[in-house]
Structure 1
Amino acid sequence: MTDLENIRKEITKLQTENAKLTTKVVRNRKIIAQKEETFIKVQNIANEEETFDSDSTQASFKIKQLPNGMDKVRELYKTVCQCGGAAKFNGFCESCVKKMKEDYEKAMNDYLPIALQYEKVYSSNVNKEVKMLSIKNKIDSMKQKIKEGDINFQDESLKILQDEINYLRKQIKIIQMEYEVQQKEFVRYVEEQNKVQEDLEMRLAKKENKIQKVQFEIEKLLLKNKKIEENIDFAKEELESYVK
């Protein structure tokens, strides 16, 4: 496997890793947004209070029903996009789908120049390898003729062959220089990708901490919501007992 093939293989590997990381970031963003939205909704549910109403005949408690507390919370996880909008496209809203498309196109535009340059160098090297193989075959042929006594060192064809060999040596030096340039470019690209990955991992860690905090608050609110429902049930029982 040539150095160029190794480079291309490494780029493909980096692309795959970055794609997985991007998927994880999107998934975590969705979870975070869902839980934040749930936090707000549950808080609103918990803040709903019972009201008292009276008329000329008798006093009665008019209970403001909670909108299916636990069911409401569970439903939020199914219908809310990562940004809080309506999830119309496989769990994502239209704005997030457009944003993901823009991010994908930007990543492709950033990578495309490098990919084209490697493709150019690869094609150039294939041509040089064909040339090298052709000259190698000529060398083998000349060796065979010399061995059989069909050519001497003053033969014109030997001079032509030597010129071709000298030309090939120059081409090899050019290839080596191109490899060095491409290697530096590749190293720069890898360093940039590593920085992006480190930034994403740091952001993911912060988001994970935020998720845990939000989850803790949600659990507290759900417990509060449960107590409110129990108090409402108790109030209903007391009211029914009072009316009787």
Structure 2
Amino acid sequence: MSTVLVITPTYNERDNLPGVVARIRAAVPAACVLVVDDNSPDGTGLVADGLDGVHVLHRERKQGLGAAYLAGFRWGLERGFDLLVEIDADGSHPPERLPAMLEAAERADLVIGSRWAPGGRVANWPRRRELLSRLANGYVRRALRLGVADATGGFRVYRAAALERLLLGGVESRGYCFQVDLTLRAVRQGCAVAEVPITFVDRTSGASKMSAGVLFEALWRVTVWAWSPRRRPGGRAAPTADEPSLPPRTGGMSLT
């Protein structure tokens, strides 16, 4: 049976985190949960410490979504997990869809919980935000020639062996573009990519970290990748000081 690590990065999510963790456990009781907290001013890290059976990585400062996930990936790969899950802490990603996504991961290297695949949808989003997301995904899909409906989606399952290959050489993307970066790497490397439709529900508590500026910065980077193939992600860059090379996987798990 595959071992599963669910990684949720947090920054000022103290009101949402306990409920999300409870839903994850109800959906996949055997999964381990890792919270990666970027020193949240609201004390989210302390809330995470108080949740039974939850592992917590406390980071010194906010460095972006991608950096938080990379830290979580390293933690999980070092401990030999077979499947690594990305999920937001704000409740927008439905943990109840995890069983279907994990089942799909038996045949795929990357599974995306997709808002825009047939059967997927969003709820409680302002029309303007939905339009921006649809346009952004359409642009990414066409500019990079990806056959993926939701390349920017952040609800994902990676097979560990595939993830190790995708991360070889380091990943420079940190924010909104992080998901596109890994999707492009997966497609270019011939990984099997599957999409499972989900209903994405807008958060009811706390403030979104997304802004038009962040979105357009990401689309600018996609444009550079589209027009300059040599600058596309693919493992050519050396790891940064905050992103050391990933160690080899160990055979078994040693949770701390």
Q: TM-score by structure 1 length?
A: 0.21
Higher relative CO (Cα under 8 Å, sequence separation at least 6) belongs to 1
Compare CA radii of gyration and give the structure with the larger one: 1
Q: TM-score by structure 2 length?
A: 0.20
